[in-house]
Structure 1
Amino acid sequence: MLRLLDLENQHCSLKLVYTLSDALKNDPERIKLAQELTLDESRPHMGLKGRHGLFGSDEWWNSIYSKKMKLKFVSGVISRTYYSGMDSDRRNNAYELTLADGSLHQEGFYYNDTKDKYLYEIGKKVLIVYAQDELKKDNGRGKYSETPIEIAISYDIVPLETKPANKLLQRIKKSFAFFTR
């Protein structure tokens, strides 16, 4: 099977812990419900547009691997794990990534094998690729549904690699330094 994430050139060893294709093999109902909502014209504000094929179909997967559908790649280091939700199970099930530019990205734990949930630890590098599938209607949060396609986590703790601040941020810092003298 094709892979979207580059696990080889990362300066650390990574394990692919989640693939949507494996998750969907165990949950065909998810495909059925998503496709039904896409095709339901009585719900014009709900579901996917289907421009790149129905969710989970061969056409949809071909749109992802040929990169006709927009993809979003995220890479960072886990800076926090936490519990998210309202159920009675209060174990950590979400994490925050610090990205190279210093911004933060939140995501839930995804794994195909339950023993891999223990890889979600502070200091581990995470790579994620999302399919950005168009929604029928912009719901105020953006016009795309972001579905994780693959997630990989490093075996070991890694240092956060940050990029130098952009020029605007450098100018702002210089301005504040002037006022604090």
Structure 2
Amino acid sequence: MLLNLENSKVPMKLIFLLSEELKAKPEQIRLTQELTLDESRPYMGLKGTNGLFGSQEWWNNINQGKIPLQYVSGVITRTYVAGQDPSSVDNCFSLLLDDGSIREESIYDYINKEDKKLFQIGSKVEIVYALDELKRRDSNGEKCYLDIVLEMAVSLKPIE
């Protein structure tokens, strides 16, 4: 586990592990890897610089620090419905980060119903992302990265 929840000042629950999600949905690995390997789509998908998504090589490169990680921590300021689905169930949240910036994030459909209840205004959230290089470059020719959620934890109750 990459998140160090034992040292958290508030009780946290790990609610998402990409490694477990991929075990349950191996098709996601196959589709992502196919796009990486598809030379007819030079601007779509991951570049595969540090291994194909979800492969043992990819996980090893995460653990060895070859794929950069980004740790984000903050407090939920709002939850809301995003997208065209007329569902009345909130599926996104705004996270006030420790540096004062706001980040928008999703509440994944596959998170169990009880854990979804933890996403409340004032709840603390910790996320670790892998920054995996994309095939495409930005308008200045610089590398672009996809931030892939590896782990997510939420406080057991609001802290504010």
TM-score (structure 2 length as normaliser): 0.92
Q: 1:55-84: per-residue Cα shift (whole Å, max 9, x none)? A: 000000111111110111100000100001
Q: For residue 113 of structure 1, what is the aligned residue in structure 2?
A: 112
Residues 111-144 of structure 1 show CA distances to partners (whole Å, capped at 9, x for unaligned) of 543321111111010000001000011256x700
Larger of the two Rg values belongs to structure: 1
Aligned to 2:7: 9
Counting matched residue pairs gives 157
Equivalent of 1:63, from 61, 64, 74? 61
Query: Is 1:144 matched with 2:142?
Result: no
State the alpha-carbon separation in 1 of the partners of residues 14 and 157 from structure 2.
14
Q: Which sections of structure 2, spanning at least 5 residues, go unmatched?
A: none
Pairing 1:29-108 to 2, within 5 Å after superposition: 29-108=27-106
CA apart distance, 1:46? 0.3
Query: What is the aligned-residue RMSD (CA, Å)?
Result: 1.6
Give 4+ residue runs of structure 1 displaced > 6 Å after superposition.
none
Match of 1:158 in 2: 159
CA distance in 1 between partners of 2:91 and 2:100 (Å)? 23
SS at match of 1:156: coil
**Matched position secondary structure for 2:157:** strand
Secondary structure of the 1:152 match is strand
Counterpart amino acid of residue 130 in structure 1? Y
* Residue 122 (structure 1) aligned with residue 121 (structure 2): yes
Decide whether the 8 Å contact of 1:130 with 1:147 is kept in 2.
yes
2:135 alignment partner, SS class: coil
Determine which structure has the larger strand proportion and give its number.
2
